[in-house]
Amino acid sequence: PVINTKMALAYRERILKGLPEGMEFTPLMTLYMTDKTSPEDIKEAKASGHVYAVKLYPKGVTTNSESGVTDIKNCFPALKEMAAIGMPLLIHGEVFTPSVDFFDREKVFLKEVMGPVVKANPKLKVVMEHITTKDAVEFVSKCGPLVGATITPHHMLYNRNAIFNKGLCPHMFCLPILKREEHRTLGPRRKALVDVPDVTW
């Protein structure tokens, strides 16, 4: 993972060198947050002029998250610095706790992680990426203009039954996983896309 500014700038150069001649493209680089990401890392990233945000994956929740965060409290000093300089946090919102039902990981994350993060850092810009539940939509709607979210289309088109339609359907399995019908239906979708401008897809 790209965990510091030096790595981000090197990656940026590889991207630019790979562009076809004549193509204009501006890579918006991000850092991968770990338990060891420091306020100094954040300051350096901001000063580079090329790192625009920091992505946070709880360890083990999704693809390429094995180097992710094990405890959100480890990140509080870095988050405080991000709030101070206006650098956004892009976050995959699920817990990875064996005792938590697979379909409830996002809901539990809101209570155990996002709530404390927003409360401790009221000036932090946050984007909850690819939310999947009405709980997340309601959470974002109550947080104010600095907290937003994205929704992927397939989470609005399918519920979790699609994973098991006529057997196991691997092409319908993705992370975050599809949820119950109550989270897919028109009510939550309408609220997300019409009533809550901070939720986009």
In sequence order, the β-bridge partners of residue 54 are 31, 89
Mean pLDDT of the chain: 91
Strands 29-32 and 51-56: parallel
Distance CA 66, CA 81 (A): 24
Strands in 89-92's sheet, in edge-to-edge order, are 29-32, 51-56, 89-92, 126-129, 147-150, 199-200
Residue pLDDT, tens place only, 75-114: 999 999 999 999 999 999 999 999 999 999 999 999 999 9
Mean pLDDT of 168-175: 90
Tell me: pLDDT of 194 over 90.
no
Rounded to two decimals, what is the model's pTM? 0.88
Tell me, what's the pLDDT at 195?
Answer: 53
